[in-house]
Amino acid sequence: MKLYGYWRSSAAYRVRIALNLKLLNAEQVSIHLVKNGGEQHSDMFSQLNAQHLVPAFIDEDEQGEFALTQSLAILEYLEEQYPQQAILPESAKDRAIVRAMSQAIACEIHPLDNLRVLQYLVKEMGVDEEAKMKWYHHWIHLGFSALEKQLTTTSGQFCFGDTPTMADICLIPQVYNAYRFKVDMAQYPHIVRIWEQCNQLAEFADAAPEMQDDAS
């Protein structure tokens, strides 16, 4: 197993957490998203992911090695192929609820705030730092406000009950980013509580950006 990622990539962060929860060891290969114009654009990495995005996850079966992309698809693959330490609940209804929470973060909040979007705002649209941060905070608050309401009915210790799920795996990297960009989290007590609870677990703490070998 190999995981091509970047220490600050939210999507790679998700996969690191899932691998830890499932007690799986993967070789970590750094793809620096900033140096040399972005190593994700290299010919080598383009062969793994034509979208020029991390992560790319390498596993193998009877036909040999293969590459998977898109963090949620990788999480679903890990859940199906390595069912130990499940990251989805048992019932179809509960699994759908957790998937919806995960997608609300990974598909609605994160894409509007990721590196290439912020770079485009600055480089192509001439947005200054203050306006860029206003953009970032707007989409975080919009997404977190809805999620906070949902957590009043679904959460226990974690986003869904008392066991970490895919929803927590998606939430923690997004909260990390929110703190990094100085988002006021006071109005999200459930989200903050779950952030603190998750980071007490080694599986989450060891996946944190600053704990990675390529952190700089």
Q: What is the identity of the amino acid at 133?
A: M
Instruction: Output the six-digit token pair for 177.
Output: 């980013």
Nearest to 9 by CA among 183, 201, 214, 167: 214
Instruction: Give me the CATH number covering residue 129.
Output: 1.20.1050.10
pLDDT of residue 171: 98
Given pLDDT bands bounded at 50, 70 and 90, which one contains residue 196? Answer: very high
Burial of 91 by CB count in 10 Å (0-12 exposed, 13-18 middle, 19+ buried)? exposed
pLDDT of residue 194: 98
Q: What is the pLDDT of residues 80-114, one digit of tens each?
A: 999 999 999 999 999 999 999 999 999 999 999 88
CA distance 116 to 59: 27
Mean pLDDT, the chain, as a whole number?
95
**Side-chain-side CA neighbours of residue 54 (13 Å):** 28
Q: Which of 27, 54, 85 is the last residue of a domain?
A: 85
State how many domains the chain has.
Answer: 2
Q: What is the identity of the amino acid at 121?
A: L
Domain that holds residue 137: 92-203
pLDDT of residue 166: 98
Query: Regarding beta strands 27-30 and 2-5, do their DSSP bridges make them parallel or antiparallel, or are they unpaired?
Result: parallel
Q: What is the pTM of this model?
A: 0.94
CA distance 16 to 3: 8
Instruction: Give me the CATH number covering residue 64.
Output: 3.40.30.10
Instruction: Output the six-digit token pair for 19.
Output: 């691998």
Long-range contacts of 134-138 (CB under 8 A, 24+ apart): 136/181, 136/183, 137/181, 137/183
pLDDT of residue 216: 77
Q: What is the pLDDT of residues 53-65, one digit of tens each?
A: 899 999 999 999 9
Residue 120 lies in a domain: yes
**Are 34 and 131 within one domain?**
no
Residue 209 lies in a domain: no
pLDDT at 159 > cutoff 80 = yes
pLDDT at 162 > cutoff 80 = yes
pLDDT of residue 34: 86
Whether 17 contacts 207, CB under 8 Å: yes
